[in-house]
Structure 1
Amino acid sequence: MEFSSPYPNKINWQSLSKHQRLQSLSQIESSAPPSYKSNTIKEELVLQYVRVFERQYVELFQERERLALVVRNEYGVKKFISTFIKPTLLPYAELYDSHAITQFLHNYLTYEPLPSPHQLPSIICSPTITLTHQKGDSFDLSILYCSLLRGAGYEAYVCIGRASGKVARAERLYCPEQIRDDDDDYIQYESFKDANGGTAASADDVGANGAAAQQQNDGTASVATATTKKKSKYSLKKRMRLESEFDQMQKDKEDQVAGENGQNEQNTDDSSDQYIHAWILVLPNARSMAPPTPHPPGVPITTNPTSTPHVPLPADQPYFIETSTGEQKPITDTDYKQIEAVFNHQNYWVNMQENVPVAQTDFDLYNLDNWEYIFVSEGSDDENEGLGASLKQPTENDDGNGAPTAADTVESGEHDTQVLDLPTSWVGRITLTKEQFFSKYPGKNKRIQYMDATIQLYTPYSRDDCLTKSITYFDKDAPSKKLSEHLFYENREDKLIRRSLYNASVSVDDTSPPVQRSVKHEWFAPGRRKGSSIEALKEVIQVKSEKNEYRFYWDARLDGLEKRIELFHPSTSFYPRKIVLTFRGRTDFLSYRSVTYDMNTQNTASGNEHPTFKSMEERSVLKMSEKFERDSSKIADEDVAKRTFYLNEGRMRLLYHYGPDKITHAVREYTKRGDMSIDIVDPFQARPKLSDAISEYKELLNAEKNCEANIRSANVEMKSILETRQKDEQNVKYVTTIYDTLLNQPTPEEIEELKRKERERLEKLKRKDVLGSLYPKEGIKSEEQAREIFKKCLRNMRKRLLERAKILEARLTHERNQINRRRTAYQKTQEGSERNEEEFVKFWEDTMFRMGIIRKRVERNKIESKKEYAQLQEELLNDDRLAPFLQRERKKFFSQKESLETDSMHSPSRLAVSTRR
């Protein structure tokens, strides 16, 4: 049984209250199944059974609150509350883990507080209606949460009790989501390699939480790591931590007293801050302790840098799920004051642990000392189980000996040998279409407001700039002052996944006033290309009037470029005073290259061109430097560590690596005037020969030219990257996967074009190949070959047409001969009977009729033959295989055809006469 929503899609349910939504339901003709509007015999029996339990409970515990056992659904029909739950596993791999389910429902649904916070709701909606409205109170949402969690295999229950006003009103003063801005926690290229089957750890595994999760998932990881690491013989021994036993005893006593005081304060809380509320209880089972499901194949991995990572609670401990926020909370959370009852789709349990804090509640639901359940499992041997097993206390209906009356005996079901089980849920099938699943939010967007932040969520592909999430943080002391803004993107063709804008005041020193500092930081996913080359841009950091930093996926580039840093002078931000390039993984061991420009050069950049790269070509270079990593194949005195070119001074300086156990290194300096200075560290090392020094000087001159050319090439590439980025921002394009059938649906124009092509394909299949076996396997190579095939096809067609004409002429000749022979025979017997004359006349008429038909066929065949011949000739000339070689024939044929059509338009009678001829 599948539920179809009776509501038109144009109704905006988010703007209506629950009362208004129920009123609109009663006014609209509903197509809901009959189970929504009536009860079966078994459901009526269950309601009678539950009312007996409720009556006994009220008589015995008059001071306790009323239980939510029998409630009305959206159609006003009374139902047992456990039958509202419909365990359902939705056909989406992403909705299989508890955290994914709760996050999706929290985003997809809107929470509304109860209209009367100290009273149970009079009407509870079914999960199908809640999913259609995308809005509900804590009871509506909890039933839907429980249905999906139960369907995914979790042992979930709906808790009914009291919570603080902060929880009931879903008040969250400060944003719990904190953006991580440290460089190590930004998206790492190794995490993408790990997702594709590599061995590198993800970014979350680097942190403390990730390390703990890694150790929990694989207990042997830490052991393997410990055994592989070599212990240094110079490592210091850890000191023993000395602790006083007396101090520890005093601390334990203080903690015990503080705990008792806190418990007393919790028990004496103001009842005005306790609101009726419903939430989810998840007990540990095999499903909750299973590892998270892997990412489904074919679904794009979200590459946005994560915010505060989700830290799952211990799987072997029960925990709560708050339906108003979608958060997992421990059972020790003090916002939950009291639990009256829990239920699922099979039973209903009443909490008999009075005056016990929620944190100390025993959740063994089959312990009759702590919980009372209504329905007995079939085949139970305990005669005291079931309806009021622990409620058997003396009441007004009992006699002096405590024996129940006959009515109580019948009501309690003692003489009933059959066990009443709970009927299946009356709720229809819970369905979620692909459009609903991918929409994610009500109206495809959702806004969450805090005192210090604003979070705006958008459905993927719903905005032109592919924005899916934005977080804006404000100053707590001045809420109107914006501190930072973080924008997250998905599925962009330019691979942009995040942009962060920071605005803060920075104090340079104690005497000067603070300076306003504006920072823009962008992140890109791997895969940025420029033509056939890989650009590999990873991050862009722009600090206004200070520096621009560009980071790259160095192992995706041929030159191994890792960073490009442009430093600006405080007096001007038109062009950088220094550019620094860092490299990794190069075979020439180059790790650093920098260039310093002359700041006295006039800037002549025009307004339409990028001032940075326009002015670089016109400015003089003061200094260029290159640094190299250690090459183990060379000795230290011959392995260059840094070489610097002072272009304005005309000198070059070489610094070599430090040798083992050395505190000094070799230095060589050359000038273009011919001077040379060589410092040798090792006194036993021979000084280089003059010829070697001259050769090294020439190599340095070539290295200087190459360094300057490489810097110029890097500037040109950076200019191209910035121009591409500017075009990308002006025209944002999105990408889809082949698995996305919703976004890859063709437009009406594309559908019509596909239909047209299909019709043409079918027509070509119906038509016979005009060339047939005459077309050579190797194809047509020359004009003579094409003309020969063309003439041969026409000859074959002419031959077939002549054969058909001969057949018609032969039939006409045969009829003539027949009538001639019959006429000769009749003339010989003219004095015959009247019967012979009648037969001859009838034969004559029939023969002449057939001859007339044959003559018409002959005339029609002449006309059709001409048309077929001309049609074949046109098809041959239009054939793609012959047309390139028969241009002259094509021109002649179509010119004659055009002239004939023109003559037919001016003289139709002439055409008719020619046709008759």
Structure 2
Amino acid sequence: MIEPSTGKKIPMNAADHYYTGVESVFNHKMYYVNLQPDAVVSAISTDLLDATQWESVFPREKESEEVDPLSNTQQANLLGLTSRRALTTVETVNSETPDDNWKPGIFIPMSWVRELTLSPQQYESRYPGGSKEIQYSDATVRFYADYSQPDLRVKEVIVSDHLDRDSEQTHILFKHRADKLRRRLIIPQDRASERSPAAINIPSYRLMHEWYDKGRTKDASFEGLREFIYEPGKERTMKFYWRSREDGLRLRNDVFHDEQTLHRSREEYRERPDRLRQRSAVYDRPRTGREANIHQAIVLTGVEAGLKEIKEYPRLEPIQISQKYTRNPSIPVERDVYKIKFTMPPANTNTVGEMSVIFHYPENSLIRPSRLFVKASSSVEDYIASSVSKKIVEPPVKVVTMPGVPPPSELDLHKERKWLSGMEAVCISEVRKKLDEAFDILLRRDQDQAQVQQVLSSYDTLRNRPLESEAARAQKLAEAKRREESRRDYLAPYIARMNIPSWVNGNYLSVTLNSDQSRQVRDEALLELKERLIQRGRIMQSRMDKEKEEFARRQAAFQKNGETAAIDGSRDAEEFAIYCKEATWRMKVLDERLSKHITLASEKYAQLAQRLAEDPRLAALYGH
């Protein structure tokens, strides 16, 4: 015996520990039924000629006297029989030649079941009523036909939550959605948890995880959303197909103070030319009602408050921004930037911000160089003091250098301060841009959930049928015909070669040509038609010449072998007569086509000349 699941060989004397019985054995030609299915496997006889043990179901056809031993050996490969005796027995059975009074042992009647016929609508429904539910001990699985559900779900799996056995996880699979949503996981809130009255708009789930296929676009550019993970009141993560994005954004993670306040945003990048690896922005708690509305709009996109203020001045500004970079081998390590950090305290405080730059660790070092610049104060007192002293007071700076490396000069520090000031403006602009993009993604996601749009295949004939009326369809066909006529303009190839204004945009039906242009278009059109007619006539004449040469060659060969053909019989004469008949018919057809072509060539040339004379675009040449 051979176990299909493992492929291991099991001896017949040990098969009782693995199997309870053998119902039948078969191959591609014969089927044997075990007449003693209750017998243990080790007691079953492998001799298929044993009528008390086996019965053949299908009748054996008569075989020729010469039997190929190899084919008989192949026929003996019955399922479940591995012993040499069984193979020899089956070979003997197949090699026997039945007598003339052979009759089948069992007559198999025709099936009483009528042929099953399904319409395309029934086939698309997949299940009775369009759905099917299967109950398991710890799960429930529901299947849905394509396009049968409003949200285009095709499968739903409900299982117990591993953290809370009283709650259930819901896994939903989708198809044919325009937003490329493929799968969604929803874990509900714990029943014991209490929600604050301020969190009325918080969703009822503890975690939602969505997976998207490739191809999500926004304003003719790839948005690249791959995964969306949302834990209400805690954090929200968006993962992207970073190879399809121009900026290389791989992940965006938003951490919340609470159910209505944004705390920190973190972005991760891959393979950027500037080697940017991570950007982080920290936000303060809201101090005004407007800031609270903006925070609430970012955290809860379904809330109307703050939708207008989020992109209006003054913007929601972070109090800290940092960027990290990967190592650039082409730059010395003591000058290769690892991290830049900017702190921007709130406007109503008296503290000033800071700018810092940290470089990569040198090899075998526990410290690394860094710079910490204090921003210039914008208070009136400091401005007056600087004006009185008539000297620009540089804010303090903290410098960390490597042992044995001289400290940077004041000019170098001034250049670094200026570079950091410019980078701060760039970072703030990028943080705003990415915040707006994330907000647009959230808004679009909510719109896609509210109005699910489907994608139809070009081969779906059931749902691609037009819904317009007959009049609208006739108008649509007429417009398509006019566009087709415009595309098939017989003068378009010749006019396109000239210097035509760009506003024409390929529509040459309303173009007016001058005298020289009209003459050039006319001559080129007539010359091309003439060459095409001559070439077609040459092709017909060459086919006629080849047919005549073949006929002359076959006729000469038949006349040369005439005496041999008379001795062998009339077979060659009949074949030659049939060939002569077919060749004569082909030459007659070719001759008629050539004569007709010569007759119509002059007519086609005259028709084109008349059409050119009546074309309004050539009025400058013909004077009409």
What TM-score bracket applies, with the shorter chain setting the length? 0.5 to 0.7
Q: CA deviation at 1:522?
A: 1.0
Q: Which amino acid in the other structure matches residue 183 of structure 2?
A: R
SS of the residue corresponding to residue 324 of structure 2 reads strand
**TM-score, normalising length: structure 2:** 0.57
Which residue among 602, 614, 619 is the counterpart of 2:310?
614
What does residue 547 of structure 1 align with?
235
Q: What per-residue deviation string (whole Å, max 9, x for no partner) do you get for residues 447-490 of structure 1?
A: 112343221110111112111111112369998x4321111110
Per-residue Cα deviation, 1:66-116 (whole angstroms, up to 9, x for no partner)? xxxxxxxxxxxxxxxxxxxxxxxxxxxxxxxxxxxxxxxxxxxxxxxxxxx
Aligned equivalent of 2:398, options 667, 671, 677:
677
Counterparts of 1:783 and 1:642, CA distance in 2: 66
Secondary structure of residue in 2 paired with 1:749? coil
From 126, 140, 161, the counterpart of 1:454: 140
The amino acid that maps onto 1:659 is P
Out of 667, 679, 684, the residue aligned to residue 370 of structure 2 is: 667
**Residues of 2 paired with 1:623 and 1:429: CA distance?**
74
Q: Do 1:378 and 1:421's aligned partners in 2 also have CA atoms closer than 8 Å?
A: no
Residue 167 of structure 2 corresponds to 482
Distance 1:472 1:491 in 2: 22
TM-score normalised by length of structure 1: 0.40
Which residue number in structure 2 is paired with residue 372 of structure 1? 54
- 1:656 is matched with which residue: 359, 362, 367? 359
| Inter-CA distance 452–750: structure 2 relative to 1 (3 Å threshold) | farther
Give the 3-state SS of the residue equivalent to 1:641 in structure 2: strand
Secondary structure in 2 aligned to 1:519? strand
* Contact 1:589 1:628 survives alignment (8 Å): yes
| Distance in 2 separating the partners of 1:339 and 1:701 | 84
Equivalent residue in structure 2 for 1:694, among 404, 411, 414: 414
Give the aligned length: 417
Q: Which runs of 5+ in 2 are unaligned?
A: 68-97, 194-203, 295-302, 346-351, 377-394, 496-507, 516-614, 618-624
Shift of 1:743: 2.9
Q: Counterparts in 2 of 1:287-366, with a 5 A limit?
A: 313=5, 340-341=23-24, 347-350=31-34, 352=36, 354-356=38-40
Deviations 1:809-854 (A, max 9, x none): xxxxxxxxxxxxxxxxxxxxxxxxxxxxxxxxxxxxxxxxxxxxxx
CA gap 1:781/1:760 in 2 versus in 1, 3 angstroms: closer
Per the alignment, residue 444 of structure 1 pairs with 130
Amino acid across the alignment from 2:206 = S
Structure 1 vs Structure 2 CA RMSD: 4.7
What is the CA distance between 1:568 and its match in structure 2? 0.7
Contact 1:448/1:455 (CA < 8 Å) preserved in 2?
A: yes
User: Is 2:180 aligned against 1:495?
Assistant: yes
Q: 2:260 aligns with which of 574, 579, 582?
A: 574
In structure 2, the residue matched to 1:518 is 206
1:731 Cα deviation from its structure 2 partner? 1.3
Equivalent of 2:336, from 634, 639, 655? 639
Q: Quick one: distance in 2 between partners of 1:527 and 1:669?
A: 44
- Which residue does 2:534 correspond to in 1? none
1:186-243 deviations in Å (ceiling 9; x for gaps)? xxxxxxxxxxxxxxxxxxxxxxxxxxxxxxxxxxxxxxxxxxxxxxxxxxxxxxxxxx
Q: Match of 1:223? A: none
Task: Show the counterpart of 1:725.
Answer: 445
How far off its partner does 1:663 sit? 2.2
Q: Letter of the 2:135 partner, please give it.
A: Q
1:601 Cα shift?
2.4
Question: In the superposition, relative to structure 1, how do residues 591 and 351 fare at CA in structure 2: closer, same or farther (>3 Å)?
Answer: farther
Q: Contact 1:637–1:666 (CA<8 Å) still a contact in 2?
A: yes
| Residue 567 to residue 600, structure 1, CA distance change in 2 (3 Å) | same
- What is the distance in 2 between the residues matched to 1:576 and 1:492? 31
Pick the aligned partner of 1:623 from 306, 320, 340.
Answer: 320
* Counterpart Cα distance in 1 of 2:121 and 2:424: 61
Amino acid at match of 1:626: Q
**1:593 lines up with 2:279 in the alignment:** yes
Question: Cα–Cα, structure 1 residues 553 and 761, in superposed 2: closer, same or farther, change >3 Å?
Answer: closer
Alignment-derived partner of residue 420 in structure 1: 104
Once residues 881 and 317 of structure 1 are traced to their aligned partners in structure 2, the CA distance between those partners, rounded to angstroms, is 89
TM-aligned CA deviation for residue 634 of structure 1: 1.2
Distance 1:772 1:441, change over 3 A: closer
Instruction: Return closer, same or farther for 1:347/1:453 CA change in 2, 3 Å cut-off.
Output: same
In the aligned structure 1, how far is the partner of 2:264 from the partner of 2:120? 53
Higher Cα Rg: structure 1 or 2? 1
Distance 1:782 1:757 in 2: 29
Q: Which runs of 5+ in 1 are unaligned?
A: 1-280, 285-312, 319-330, 383-413, 509-515, 766-770, 786-879, 883-917
* Contact 1:592 1:628 (C-alpha < 8 Å) held by counterparts: yes
Q: Secondary structure, in 3 states, of the residue corresponding to 1:621?
A: coil
Match of 2:220 among 515, 527, 532: 532
Among residues 749, 752, 762, which one is paired with 2:468 in the alignment? Answer: 749
Q: 1:477 to 1:546 in 2, by over 3 A?
A: closer
Q: How big is the shift at 1:528?
A: 0.3
Cα distance in 1 for residues equivalent to 2:132 and 2:45: 36
Deviations 1:128-178 (A, max 9, x none): xxxxxxxxxxxxxxxxxxxxxxxxxxxxxxxxxxxxxxxxxxxxxxxxxxx
Task: Show the counterpart of 1:201.
Answer: none
Q: What letter is aligned with 1:740? A: D
| Bigger relative CO (Cα 8 Å, ≥ 6 apart) | 1
Superposition deviation, residue 656 in structure 1: 1.2
Q: Say if 1:575 and 1:612, in contact at 8 Å, map to a contact too.
A: no
Aligned to 1:257: none
